[in-house]
């Protein structure tokens, strides 16, 4: 079970230096946070010289603290005309400050006019204090801060990236010995690029010896402030210290990718790839984007709370929070997709669930801006309708128009997007170092070094996958007349869901019919939706007493799901190569599997396309570019499209 976050306590010493009561240590030298950052970490790692002329440069920091090192590095990057194209700054923090406290610290320590606006941007973008990885983008994505909230001993083994430089920061080895231990340094060695450098203000002998034992060279140099010496060095192992090499960008002759499927999955991929300068050919069998399930009049978005903080909960939490950040960026660029703004109410099924979820929210330490219990009275006041019981409120949850979101993502791609609509992608095939997409007539549609299949249950067929099982689930929605449930003010979920639309209409549903491909509207489907709605909103039964379900309008769409109800997102396996080497791969882990170079999948999002699509797209784009992954590696492996192949190998059932 995930440990709840314990935020840092805001405190200052008499000289104004930020101080941690928990560790009895200061966050930076009394000589100044930014002077320390420049001397110890920036200059100690040979920056800015080492990032010049590079496309991507990645820094990994072991303690974010007040963010001084990040802000100083960001400012140095901005000031360097020969800077790298994209700067990734990954930092771990066990006890993050609240947004208010971080802003208070910055107001006291930031006097440099070049740092002040950066500190303001950081404060404005500061994430909700929940465990896990939070990705924040600045400078139109050219500076990316990836914050990992949690204990470094737990999180470091779960990161997957190639670090060019390490900022070994944190409270002193005497105050926080775990952060300066051999297991931490071995985890860093697993992530180090060839020639990666490190710098740290400490010069303790046991730290130097542990770094050398992990594969780093280390030497003492002039320290900062009252410290006479500090340590710098580089990754220079005299023996093999890791089983797998950290990720590299996929070598391609041109930055061109094909995305098959123009629903939520494909349009999110289009936006994330073009944001990195990739040219994208988007293929869909329909005449426009979002014509299947992504074309529903509205969709809901919210986290998933579970008492054990399951894998599904962690992935959904990460996806929800990252989607909110990307949607906000689109909205700030002038795009609109009718996103609701007053939260989403999750109605408990019974009193036992009410108590259980309230206990889970408290034990996991979730802050009220993420989720908060709602009594029956509070829920009714929020919803403006009578409800049988309370539940819990997601203040940042809600509903939006998925088709409008897809259009916004495609429009944001600009001239880098080529649309190939009204043509069916039957299969993909390898030709030299390219992938070709073939239509139903056997003619090529487009070719590129990268292909992502994002066309739901057709994805496995298009990519010729035998070990990526999915099932189709029919879902029928019901559109209520304007006079019915017209008082509802926020999206409501529970036994089903109800979403208030424009002009007083309400959308409710949806049915869940596995392996049913019938597109025809059914009276029984409307009746089922109304029955579930009445359990959540008893007053609806009276409003519909004289209505005939057969006269109601609605829509039928199809979900694509896996047996574990998790999505497929990531690099596809080379199943033929795996089959040939099945005996050797029987004990394999995901990184051991042979992959089909340049072939990726993004499908089987079920009912959670809105909260999974953007994060999955960022994961795939990061894999292609060799960038730090936006989620923990164990979570990425749980949604790996090759996970069913891996199970077959382990069980010796690969045919």
Q: For residues 316 and 610, give the distance between their C-alpha atoms in angstroms, rounded to a whole number.
A: 10
- Name the residue range of residue 547's domain: 302-320+336-402+479-551
The enclosing domain of 600 has a CATH number of 3.50.50.60
The verdict on 457 and 567 lying in the same domain is yes
Let me know if 432 is exposed, middle or buried by CB neighbors in 10 A (0-12, 13-18, 19+): exposed
pLDDT at position 252:
94
Note the pLDDT of residue 31. 66
pLDDT digits (tens, 9 = 90+) for 501-512: 988 899 999 999
Annotate 436-459 with b (16+ C-beta within 10 A) or e (fewer): bbbbeeeeebbbbbbbbbbbbbbb
Q: Is 634 found in the same domain as 531?
A: no
- For the chain, what is the radius of gyration of the CA atoms? 26
Neighbouring residues of 41: CB distance < 8 A, sequence distance ≥ 6: 69, 72, 73, 167, 169, 199
Q: What is the mean pLDDT of the chain?
A: 94
One domain, residues 316 and 364: yes
Residue 243 CA to residue 588 CA, distance in Å, equals: 12
Q: Do 167 and 284 sit in the same domain of this protein? A: no
> Is residue 331 domain-resident?
no
Residue 330 maps to a domain: no
Which pLDDT score, from 0 to 100, does residue 178 have?
A: 92
* Residue 634 placed within a domain: yes
Nearest in space to 156 (alpha carbons), one of 136, 170, 143:
170
21-30, 351-360, 363-372: least confident range: 21-30
Share of the chain above pLDDT 70, in %: 99
Is residue 365, in this structure, part of any structural domain at all? yes
- Asked if residues 497 and 397 have their Cβ atoms less than 8 Å apart, the reply is no
Inside any domain, residue 267: yes
d(CA 190, CA 242): 6
* Average confidence (pLDDT) over 522-549: 87
DSSP 9: P
Domain boundary pick from 551, 583, 608 = 551
User: At residue 522, does pLDDT exceed 90?
Assistant: yes
* pLDDT(42) > 90: yes
Cβ atoms of 402 and 264 closer than 8 Å: yes
Same domain for 315 and 462? no
pLDDT over 70 at 561, yes or no? yes
224 lies in the same domain as 373: no
Asked whether residue 414 is assigned to any structural domain, the reply reads yes
Same domain (yes/no): 486, 616: no
Residue owning tokens 């070049």: 114
pLDDT tens string 280-328: 999 999 999 999 999 999 999 999 999 999 999 999 999 999 999 999 9
Helices 68-79 and 116-125, interaxial angle, to 10°?
120
Q: For position 155, which CATH number holds?
A: 3.40.50.150
pLDDT of residue 544: 77
105 and 184 within one domain = yes
CA 254 to centroid of chain Cα atoms: 26
My answer on whether 590 and 526 are in the same domain is no
**Binning pLDDT at 50, 70 and 90, where does residue 591 land?**
very high
Give domain status of residue 501, yes or no: yes
175's enclosing H/E stretch is: none
Q: Is residue 437 part of a domain?
A: yes
Average pLDDT over residues 392-406: 97
Residues 6+ apart with CB under 8 A from 559: 293, 472, 473, 475, 605, 606, 607
Under the banding of pLDDT at 50, 70 and 90, the label for residue 159 is: very high
The percentage of residues in the chain with a pLDDT greater than 90, rounded to a whole number, is 87
Q: What is the pLDDT of residues 161-213, one digit of tens each?
A: 999 999 999 888 999 999 999 999 999 999 999 999 999 999 999 999 999 99
Q: Number of folded domains in the chain?
A: 3
32/530: higher pLDDT: 530
13-38 pLDDT, tens digit per residue, is 888 888 889 888 888 876 678 999 99
Domain boundary among 551, 576, 602: 551
- pLDDT the model gives residue 17: 86
Q: Are residues 265 and 308 in the same domain?
A: no
Q: What's the confidence (pLDDT) of residue 478?
A: 96
pLDDT at 483 > cutoff 90: no
**Residue 88 and residue 38 share a domain:** yes
Q: Which of 507, 528, 551 is the last residue of a domain?
A: 551
CATH number, residue 343: 3.30.9.10
Residue 388 backbone class (left: φ over 0; alpha: ψ -120 to 50; beta: rest) = alpha
Do 87 and 101 lie in a common domain? yes
């Amino acid at each position: 079970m995930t440990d709840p976050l314990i935020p840092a306590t805001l405190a200052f010493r008499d000289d104004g230096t930020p101080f941690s009561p928990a560790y009895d240590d200061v966050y930076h030298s009394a000589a100044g946070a930014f002077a320390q950052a420049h001397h110890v970490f920036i200059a100690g790692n040979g920056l800015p010289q080492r990032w010049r002329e590079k496309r991507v440069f990645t820094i990994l920091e072991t303690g974010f603290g007040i963010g001084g090192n990040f802000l100083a590095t960001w400012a140095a990057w901005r000031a360097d005309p020969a800077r790298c194209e994209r700067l990734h700054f990954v930092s771990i923090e066990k006890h993050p400050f609240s947004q208010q406290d971080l802003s208070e610290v910055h107001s006291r320590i930031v006097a440099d006019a070049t740092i002040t606006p950066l500190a303001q941007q950081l404060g404005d973008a500061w994430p909700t204090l929940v465990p896990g990885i939070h990705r924040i983008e600045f400078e139109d994505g050219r500076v990316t801060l990836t914050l990992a909230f949690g204990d470094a001993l737990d999180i470091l083994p779960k990161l997957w990236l190639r670090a060019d430089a390490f900022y070994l920061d944190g409270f002193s080895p005497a105050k926080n010995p775990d952060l300066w231990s051999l297991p931490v340094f071995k985890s860093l060695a697993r992530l180090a690029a060839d020639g990666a450098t490190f710098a740290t203000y400490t010069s303790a002998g046991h730290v130097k010896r542990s770094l050398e034992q992990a594969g780093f060279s280390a030497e003492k140099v002039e320290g900062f402030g009252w410290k006479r010496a500090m340590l710098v060095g580089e990754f220079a192992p005299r023996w093999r210290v890791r089983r797998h090499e950290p990720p590299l960008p996929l070598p391609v002759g041109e930055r061109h990718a094909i995305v098959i499927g123009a629903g939520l999955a494909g349009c999110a991929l289009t936006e994330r790839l073009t944001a990195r300068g990739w040219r994208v050919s988007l293929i869909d069998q329909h005449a426009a984007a979002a014509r299947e399930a992504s074309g529903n009049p509205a969709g809901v978005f919210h986290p998933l709370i579970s008492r054990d903080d399951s894998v599904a909960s962690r992935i959904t939490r990460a996806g929800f929070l990252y989607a909110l950040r990307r949607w906000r960026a689109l909205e700030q660029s002038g795009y609109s997709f009718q996103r609701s703004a007053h939260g989403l109410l999750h109605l408990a099924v019974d009193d036992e669930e009410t108590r259980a979820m309230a206990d889970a929210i408290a034990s996991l330490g979730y802050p009220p801006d993420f989720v908060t219990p709602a009594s029956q009275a509070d829920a009714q006041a929020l919803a403006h309708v009578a409800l049988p019981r309370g539940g819990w409120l997601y203040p940042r949850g809600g509903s939006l128009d998925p088709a409008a979101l897809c259009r916004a993502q495609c429009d944001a791609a600009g001239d880098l997007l080529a649309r190939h609509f009204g043509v069916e992608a039957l299969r993909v095939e390898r030709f030299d170092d390219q992938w070709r997409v073939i239509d139903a007539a056997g003619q090529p549609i487009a070719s590129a070094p990268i292909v992502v299949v994002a066309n739901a249950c057709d994805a496995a067929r298009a990519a010729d996958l035998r070990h990526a099982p999915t099932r189709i689930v029919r879902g029928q929605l019901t559109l209520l007349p304007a006079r019915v449930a017209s008082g509802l003010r926020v999206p409501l979920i529970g036994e089903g869901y109800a979403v208030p639309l424009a002009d007083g209409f309400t959308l409710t549903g949806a049915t869940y019919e596995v392996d049913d491909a019938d597109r025809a509207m059914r009276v029984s489907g409307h009746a089922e939706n109304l029955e579930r709605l009445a359990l959540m909103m008893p007053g609806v039964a009276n409003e519909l007493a004289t209505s005939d379900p057969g006269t109601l309008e609605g829509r039928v769409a199809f979900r694509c799901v896996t047996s574990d109800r998790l999505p497929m997102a990531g690099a596809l396996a080379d199943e033929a190569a795996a089959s040939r080497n099945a005996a050797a791969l029987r004990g394999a882990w995901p990184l051991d599997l042979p992959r089909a170079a340049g072939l990726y999948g993004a499908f089987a999002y079920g009912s959670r396309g809105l909260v999974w699509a953007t994060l999955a797209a960022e994961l795939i784009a990061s894999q292609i570019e060799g960038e730090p992954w936006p989620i923990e590696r164990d979570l990425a492996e749980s949604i790996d499209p090759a996970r069913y192949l891996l199970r077959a190998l382990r069980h010796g059932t690969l045919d």
